[in-house]
A = this chain, B = another copy of it.
């Protein structure tokens, strides 16, 4: 692992498990635990957790919805900050929204998730608007056509980070339609990360919060 990364970039390295073998994941986990270091794992499928040796599994705090895990325990008590909020268009977007929330939790931020506020029923978003306007950084998660991104960015003065979700079928299968909606938004200042990249959105929010003094 690249233990110098946090000092240089403000965000520690995490382990993207999707294309790693069980043997590789286990070796990384043991190395981190031996070094007494905290480490985040993303895209860790339940089956991959099951395949770990029991003593390795016991080292992990695992959440199956977000498919994230960490070793080394929670952030030190008394250091957790707020200021970041997560907005999700629908129930299907919760795995991606949870990846962002869990990453933020690991990195010392408590971030509420406001779900089911997609624009097909605009009144639902409007009811939660004051709460959303209270955040300093907003992470928005939406699949299908991703219209939520533009609507939201036109309603708040905080920076909005769009996370397109691979939710949908036909032309929205894979998340490209939502990604292009974020990039082509008519609302100035909308920012984007890769499809399904809840981790990256959280890392960007942490970098922003690192420049904001409470």
**Known interface pairs A13-B121, A194-B169, A194-B183; A207-B157 also in contact (CB < 8 Å):** yes
Partner pick for A144 among B4, B20, B184, CB 8 A cutoff: B184
Count, chain A residues at interface, CB 8 A: 90
- Interface segment, one of A50-58, A69-77, A172-180: A172-180
Question: Is A5's CB under 8 angstroms from B147's CB?
Answer: no
Partner pick for A153 among B9, B16, B153, B173, CB 8 A cutoff: B9
Chain B residue with the shortest CB-CB distance to A103: B188
**Known interface pairs A8-B157, A166-B170; A185-B144 also in contact (CB < 8 Å):** yes
A88 located at the interface, meaning its Cβ lies under 8 Å from any Cβ of chain B in the complex: no
A29 located at the interface, meaning its Cβ lies under 8 Å from any Cβ of chain B in the complex: no
C-alpha gap A9/B54 in the complex (Å): 50
**Known interface pairs A13-B121, A92-B16, A151-B147; A172-B157 also in contact (CB < 8 Å):** no
Question: Is B212's CB under 8 angstroms from A188's CB?
Answer: no
Question: Is A211's CB under 8 angstroms from B212's CB?
Answer: yes
Question: Is A119's CB under 8 angstroms from B92's CB?
Answer: no
Question: Is A157's CB under 8 angstroms from B195's CB?
Answer: no
- Write out the residue numbers on chain B whose beta carbons fall within 8 Å of the beta carbon of A206: 189
Partner pick for A145 among B2, B186, B204, B208, CB 8 A cutoff: B186
Whole-angstrom distance between the Cβ of A196 and the nearest chain B Cβ:
6
Chain B residue with the shortest CB-CB distance to A136: B211
A191 located at the interface, meaning its Cβ lies under 8 Å from any Cβ of chain B in the complex: yes
A124 located at the interface, meaning its Cβ lies under 8 Å from any Cβ of chain B in the complex: yes
Chain B residue with the shortest CB-CB distance to A170: B195
Question: Is A144's CB under 8 angstroms from B186's CB?
Answer: yes
Extra contacts, 15 of them, besides A171-B180, A189-B200 (Cβ < 8 A), are A8-B121, A9-B153, A13-B188, A16-B92, A43-B169, A89-B186, A119-B147, A119-B151, A119-B187, A137-B211, A144-B184, A151-B151, A169-B196, A192-B193, A212-B212
